[in-house]
Structure 1
Amino acid sequence: MIRPLPSELAKIAKDELNENPNQVANDLQHLKDWISKQPHLRARTDDQWLIALLRGSKFSLEKVKKKLDLYYTLRTTAPDLTLRIKPTDPKFIDFFRLGTCLILPKPKDKLIPRVILIRAGHYDASVYNVADVMCMFYYLVQILVMEDDVACVLGTKIVTDYSEVTMAHFMQGTPSMLKKMVAVCQDSMPLRLKGSHHINLPSGVEKVFVLVQGFLNEKAKKRLKIHKNPEELLEHIPKEIVPVEYGGTGGTIPELIEYWVAKFKEYHSWMKVEEQLGTDESKRLGPPVAADLMADGSFRKLDID
């Protein structure tokens, strides 16, 4: 069973995502039947999981099938991002407590995309890797998918803080790694990415963004915001959800860390199942779906919906 949406959120889902309450049950059954006929695919069939995928694909059944297949294919073909640190491993919590990736709270009286904070330099680059940060993001989003209909309908925004980033951190972002991150984040994740905000950039890094913008479509370019100082961030993200450390009133980073540590512990059994899912490419009936995403070469255009 899926949770009924509050009326305001249900209207947005209908108007913007093509959600038809009278058709949802049929769409869910269609997906379950399709999954059962894919010999290579080991995938979740929970209603709440599948409805999130449908919403993230604006109820296009063909699009959601491709996204779902890619999501689980990357679990198998890109384990350096999706299973580098398994969510049930104590090392996962140890790294998570560094606070490199956190979901900010929801505002009380407004509907906005959920905001994910990435603190890109808050780890020792000689010990950990940017792929570890990606793991935190990957599994946080899974909890968000299962618990938060606002995120499933309105999507997410990412705030990246580059304070304490060193050249060692940047060197970890190889072209191959970045391509995989794009494939995982933007092509396969259930939640739509509604934009990104970047603060505390080291001198000279702005030039990198000029290059990155060459890969973005017009909508994505408009939604990529570089802020001169953290105060500018508060013009775009409600102060009530921004951590105290960034000038907001949305609690402290340590409080957010402990909240999400408790969530990971609550989802331990769920994550244990998750670690077993993926694909058996030897049983796939057609061509591999991720070959072009994983291949060397230039980036294709990124699409932020």
Structure 2
Amino acid sequence: MESLPKDPILEFNDNTFKYMRKEYKFEKNEDMNAAIDAFEDWIAKQNHFTKKKYPRDYLERLIILQKGSVERAKTHMEKLCTLRTLLPQFFEHYDVKKDCIPFINGAYTHSFLPKLTSDHHRVYLAKMNNVKMSSSLFMKMYIMCIINAEYIKAHDYSNGIIDIVDLRDINVLDIIKEINLVEFRQLVTIAMDGFGFRVKGIHMLTSSSTIDMLTKIMKQMFSAKIGDRIFVHRTMESLCEVVPKDVLPVEYGGTQESLQVTHDKWIDVLSSKEFVEFIQVMNQGRTNESLRLNDTVKEQYMGIAGTFRTLSVD
């Protein structure tokens, strides 16, 4: 790419493209092209991959997402293709208006916020609404998140993600009672190992006394590094101390349009004919395990479909 194309919803700072290229030592286009060439050559040699062709700008974003490391980008592509094969239930739906929204029915409002921070971080904000929760509802939410993540992976050019979860309108204990921990762990694995998202922080907004129990569960789902980046904010003022106001929606003390407005825009973008067709093609990127020469990655995830390490919840 020579520059970042205009996106219908994601915005970038004026210097984002040059900053990210310089940060990861790709100031010269020929250096990035050489890295993409090497990535393409590697993909072509993976006999067990069911999809061998990817847009070059897509591969560039994977490299940037992994701090300029082609080797790390290869690892995450390998893992995502494997996880699509081992956990197909997360990747069988394509149209959020048809497959997710009718079931979620206002349970939560979420958005990757359009504006980047000055450090080129993308903020993801999810507000849990006061509705009856269930494990099946959570699963629909996970699928919607994955569809959204596919878009981010294909279109964003950021330097990491800041997650905000607003739990003020829901009983945190209801989440703990209804959430299927196996499915939640699978979602975390897809996001971190498959998509390779670099999480700068997870900020939960609530005054609930039960939040410590949920935090303990979450810290056991993530790596120790990410676990140390999970924070609880009792007030909006506390949140605004770590997340810039010029990025946040107006109802969160910010200057941007409301979360509901950006949520609705995302629904339209993710339901567009162009994107639905794109994600159908991308979800063909799986593995034929009978052709795999090295079983290391497969063995790593053999238990992912139904087990995980023991959780301790007092």
Residue type matched to 1:179 in 2? R
* Aligned partners of 2:128 and 2:166 also within 8 Å: yes
Q: Please list every run of 5 or more consecutive structure 1 residues that lacks an aligned counterpart in the other structure.
A: 301-305
Shift of 1:166: 5.1
What is the alpha-carbon distance in structure 2 between the residues aligned to residue 171 and residue 282 of structure 1? 39
Q: Who is 1:78 aligned against?
A: 87
Residue by residue, what CA displacement relative to the aligned partner does 1:217-274 show, whole Å, maximum 9, x if unpaired? 6753553221012232111222233223333332123311221122113312212323
User: Identity over aligned residues, as a percent?
Assistant: 22
Shift of 1:95: 4.9
So what's the TM-score if we normalise by structure 2? 0.79
Q: Who is 1:92 aligned against?
A: 100
Residue by residue, what CA displacement relative to the aligned partner does 1:21-73 show, whole Å, maximum 9, x if unpaired? 33211211122122122222134511121112112222333322111011111
What is the alpha-carbon distance in structure 2 between the residues aligned to residue 125 and residue 139 of structure 1? 21
Out of 124, 135, 140, the position equivalent to 1:132 is: 140
Residue type matched to 2:176 in 1? F
Q: Who is 1:303 aligned against?
A: none
Q: CA RMSD of the aligned region, Å? A: 3.1
* 1:52 maps onto 2:52 in alignment: no
* Aligned partners of 2:248 and 2:254 also within 8 Å: yes
Return closer, same or farther for 1:290/1:134 CA change in 2, 3 Å cut-off: farther
Return closer, same or farther for 1:257/1:171 CA change in 2, 3 Å cut-off: same
Q: Who is 1:298 aligned against?
A: 309
Return closer, same or farther for 1:221/1:294 CA change in 2, 3 Å cut-off: same
* 1:205 maps onto 2:211 in alignment: yes
What is the alpha-carbon distance in structure 2 between the residues aligned to residue 167 and residue 294 of structure 1? 31
What is the alpha-carbon distance in structure 2 between the residues aligned to residue 103 and residue 199 of structure 1? 17
Q: Who is 1:13 aligned against?
A: 20
Shift of 1:170: 2.3
* Residues 124-273 of structure 1 mapped to structure 2, 5 A cutoff: 124-126=132-134, 128-149=136-157, 151=158, 154-162=159-167, 163-165=169-171, 167-200=173-206, 202-210=208-216, 212-213=218-219, 219-266=225-272, 267-273=275-281
What is the alpha-carbon distance in structure 1 between the residues aligned to residue 65 and residue 250 of structure 2? 31
Q: Who is 2:9 aligned against?
A: none
Return closer, same or farther for 1:93/1:115 CA change in 2, 3 Å cut-off: same
* Aligned partners of 2:245 and 2:255 also within 8 Å: yes
Residue type matched to 2:71 in 1? E
Q: Report how many residues are paired.
A: 294
* Aligned partners of 2:127 and 2:165 also within 8 Å: yes
Residue type matched to 1:17 in 2? Y
So what's the TM-score if we normalise by structure 1? 0.82
Residue by residue, what CA displacement relative to the aligned partner does 1:200-228 show, whole Å, maximum 9, x if unpaired? 15322213424654676675355322101
What is the alpha-carbon distance in structure 1 between the residues aligned to residue 197 and residue 232 of structure 2? 22
Residue type matched to 1:13 in 2? M
